[in-house]
Structure 1
């Protein structure tokens, strides 16, 4: 009777084992060295001879111990340009804020490697446009997104078309062109459906934007249904950041409808989702939004707690760009709680950060908070001067809504102090900023 033959190892497993052995020897390590602390020498021996299958976690650990990369262990030479390009693009996104020059060099390297791959070139174009947009260069980013859309259509890259369209919609909203934003966003959603990518992360982001747009048009019920659909997708796919954003959107809709209890419930769900998410700047921003909304629902203690959580997350992730905003939000909450000294300390830290980042709009918002603190402390002249400084910054930045709100507040303060002539000027300025609704709501 013949003994059953041992099944042959697949070629890829033998190549993997051979590469592990080669790298180990180059590093001057024994099998025992590589096995420590949680593997055995016999397992490494079996792996190097292609006679056992490693788990993903084991491969990651081995690549780290051998000071090599998973790509070099697993992939063949023809696969390396794609792998390297995608890694370069991801790294460029990570470094875009802290080291923009280095990020651009990474993109240039990716451009060389993606020269003969249409889809990789589309990825590179999207990445470059996203970085440009994050740097506040809205017009340039819009042109780059248009180039990406044209490239995707020319080369029939269906999955990239809705991604470019959704970003163009976002840029249009930044420019205040709601009509163009709506048209592009609806086209993006249709393209997401056509390519069956609506339930992807970017498809969910587009639906979130659509829900926000519907809410802004007064279509609260429809907005809530869209946001609930996104929340369901996020739960099924374990997407904590998307779930947090969806719950924030639902909370805004509920709060706008006067349903404070339901809004608070959605905010609690958002916080629970975000606590299981990664330590990223975007996660911190969504936590911040939850904190601000909790404050608006009349829950200052909860708002303070979640804003502190957002601040700690920013510190862990190294995010400084939006830290001034969180500090300013905390100052407002502390002032509401009657802790004027603590509020002023937070506002001063926020003002210093905003100044170092050359962010005039953020600086103006902080000056308004400091004016509120001065007013509570009955320092009337200081409060007036701070509001005037903030108003001037808002005017230069052409922030019409903020100009109107600040002018109205300044006018009322001056009126209370008996300075009626000057108060009338500022109240007239506030009235002049009010424009009839041109959104075409129905």
Structure 2
């Protein structure tokens, strides 16, 4: 059976770059017991067929389809070394893996992507193999194995990729570095593409990438650069006027506004991002923004604690039904612990804090430190002094190896306040000094 020719870039690339096309034609011709002259007659010359088989000529799409018909084989086999049926099986398996990831079945997705990569028929299908590796990286990230995800993404980044795939890989890599608290590496990934004079024209994907870089600027404490770049992203999003660009730019600009003391502006930007995302976006990202908005609400309007708690509970439910990473799910529990602590429900704060710790795999030291800090405060409020002090030691253990950053400085400061409440004046003074040093003061 002959497969209809497609003029897609993937097909064209396979014809023009694969030296194996001619060899496949030669192999099938010999299997059919045909000479070059018999294969060529009457449309082609036998010398032209010889040049194709030796790799000295690249057949046009119409010639390749003609040869497939004469050889009674699929065009897919001549192009890729697999039959049409094998190609269909590969695409079906890839579709199932993507569906598992989208449905939040992240371990199943990881297994499916990994099994597909073991298929020898995938070796010569560069675009599909890259799709599979990228899917595996996202599944591994969602399972909380950030180091492995980074390793896969770095391998992909070193390959020749389509412009769209290169941006997708860069977004995922920048995000994984940032969540792993490897902020300088996250910034480098972003600036390698966005920081030079040859920056591509703004698109949805590029604005989303810029938003990931902006978050890294913010976490590293570079507030001046963050404020300037937030303005660039907002202008780009307004120019594109698409839901994806709007959400990415407005949400991250809201975080910058909060960090620079513009609380009401921050909530206004965040509310617009959440409204657009809820109406147009994917459930996983809707849940993540809802969770982050609730956290912002707790910081800026502590009296709205019940509203924030309901938003967090909804986000947790949404995350459980999507391809959310364990870090996302752990973060939802940590924020619920914070809400319970603000509401004075210390027992519930402990339940959520410990649930968050159980989901963590040691990949986000800053989040681990925050969980220990909230547990220390809750246990201290319940008079469980020894346990509270042990949790504070956990804060130090998780923060010590981290590079200086705004987030780390904030957690050191909060730990110092907690230690002061627990009555350790000398220890709290030491932590205050650590916070100031971390902030560069």
Alignment-derived partner of residue 326 in structure 1 = 332
Structure 1 residue matching 2:203: 3-state secondary structure: coil
1:233 is displaced (CA, Å) by: 6.4
5+ long unaligned stretches in structure 1: 1-10, 12-75, 416-421
Shift of the 80–374 alpha-carbon distance from structure 1 to 2, 3 Å rule, reads closer
Separation in structure 2 between the aligned mates of residue 329 and residue 248 of structure 1, nearest angstrom:
18
The whole-number CA distance in structure 2 between the counterparts of 1:370 and 1:175 is 22
Among 109, 114, 133, the alignment partner of 1:107 is 114
Contact 1:149 1:165 (C-alpha < 8 Å) held by counterparts: yes
- In structure 1, the residue matched to 2:268 is 265
Paired with 1:316 and 1:127, the residues of 2 have a C-alpha distance of 18
Paired positions, count: 343
Separation in 2 of the partners of 1:175 and 1:310?
A: 22
Cα distance in 1, alignment partners of residues 427 and 288 from structure 2: 37
Query: Runs of 5+ in structure 2 lacking a partner?
Result: 5-83, 403-407
State the Cα deviation string for residues 111-168 of structure 1 (Å, max 9, x = none): 524322212222222222333333343433333222212222xxx6444334334444
Partner of 1:286: 289
TM-score norm. by structure 1 comes to 0.64
Shift of 1:407: 4.2
Could you list the per-position Cα deviations for residues 350-386 of structure 1 after superposition, in whole angstroms to 9, with x for gaps in the alignment? 145235435576676445335444666xx4x42x434
**Which of residues 301, 305, 308 in structure 2 aligns to 1:303?**
308
Deviation at 1:408, TM superposition (A): 0.9
Once residues 165 and 196 of structure 2 are traced to their aligned partners in structure 1, the CA distance between those partners, rounded to angstroms, is 9
In 2, Cα distance between equivalents of 1:357 and 1:180:
25
Looking at structure 2, the residues matched to 263 and 248 of structure 1 have their Cα atoms a distance apart, in angstroms, of 9
Q: Deviations over 1:270-321 (max 9, x none)?
A: 2312332456333212111111112222264243343243234335559694
Tell me what 1:396 maps to: 397
Which of these residues, 414, 420, 429, is aligned with residue 427 of structure 1? 429
1:368 pairs, out of 373, 379, 386, with 373
Superposed counterparts of 1:33-432, under 5 Å: 80=88, 83-84=91-92, 86-91=94-99, 93-94=101-102, 98-100=106-108, 103-112=110-119, 113-152=121-160, 157-174=162-179, 176-189=181-194, 198-201=202-205, 203-215=206-218, 216-219=221-224, 220-229=226-235, 231-232=237-238, 235-236=241-242, 238-239=243-244, 243-277=246-280, 280-298=283-301, 300-301=303-304, 302-314=307-319, 317=322, 321=326, 322-323=328-329, 325-336=331-342, 339-340=343-344, 343-354=345-356, 356-357=358-359, 365-366=370-371, 368-373=373-378, 379=382, 381-382=383-384, 384-398=385-399, 401=408, 404-405=412-413, 407-415=415-423, 422-432=424-434
- Superposed displacement of residue 191, structure 1: 9.6
Shift, 1:256, TM fit: 2.4
Q: Which has the higher contact order (CA 8 A, sep 6+)?
A: 2
Partner Cα distance (1:213, 1:266) in 2 = 19
CA distance in 2, matches of 1:192, 1:346: 52
